[in-house]
Amino acid sequence: MVDNNMPKHVAVIMDGNGRWAKKKNIPRVMGHNAGMQAMKKIVIASSQIGIKYLTVYAFSTENWKRSSEEVGGIFNLLIKYVNSELKELNDNNVKVNSIGDYSLLPKSARNKLQDLIDSTKDNDGLIFNIAINYGGRAEIVRGVNNLIANGKSEITEEDIANSLYTGDELGNIPDPDLLIRTSGEERISNFLLWQCAYSEFVFTDVLWPDMDKEEFVRLINIYQSRNRRYGGRS
């Protein structure tokens, strides 16, 4: 791995929990539980190899269409994650943010997520952003409406960037250098639409619960082999 070409910000679409569970003939919620364990591994790996920002797509605005049993199971796993990992996150100096409208989460999950954010806010290591009840289009609409409400008549790209969850609210997190999606799907599914305008995309057939540090590093190596030109020439 080339340290001087390390992506500063990696975004991940954690896909394949349900298919992983189906392959093993077990309930989907057990796939999400295995996915949570994989997420823990990748958070630790990101911190170890020097990534500054990690953003994961945990629950989209479209995921509410799933069964109430599956949705409830996902939020119960969020509570479990906070209860089991808060000390380790603090021990590893990880700061947790949330992007998306988490006010719509069940109260117990909402309170646990807020506890996680509050308890890690002074850490200055890896910044771990959890996108929950998040949608890229909704984020842009929200940002533009806020600008209009604040009297903006001529809106610039900089204005929109600052109005997003990743903008002024969180200290202007840089756009992702690398977007990873697991499970063989090759689309971004309404994730960080504005922010990923010039991100490098890397896809893997590995289902998310099977993701480990070795595969994560392999995907970063693919990123490091590319020449980012941003529309220009080498």
DSSP 113-131: HHHHHHHHTT--S-EEEEE
The burial of 71, by beta-carbon neighbours within 10 Å (0-12 exposed, 13-18 middle, 19 or more buried), is given as: middle
Please check whether residue 43 is in contact with residue 128, taking contact to mean a CB–CB distance below 8 angstroms.
yes
Is 205 marked active-site?
Answer: no
Longest dimension (CA), the chain: 55
Closest CA to 35 of 66, 79, 81: 81
With b meaning 16 or more CB within 10 Å and e meaning fewer, what string describes 108-130? ebbebbeebbebbeebeebbbbb
The residue annotated as part of the active site, out of 3, 4, 5, 15, is 15
The residue annotated as part of the active site, out of 3, 5, 25, 63, is 63
Q: How far apart are CA 194 and CA 197, in angstroms?
A: 6
Q: How far apart are CA 115 and CA 112, in angstroms?
A: 5
Is 15 marked active-site?
Answer: yes
Residues 6 or more apart from 121 whose CB is under 8 A from it? 95
By annotation, the residues acting in catalysis are 15, 63
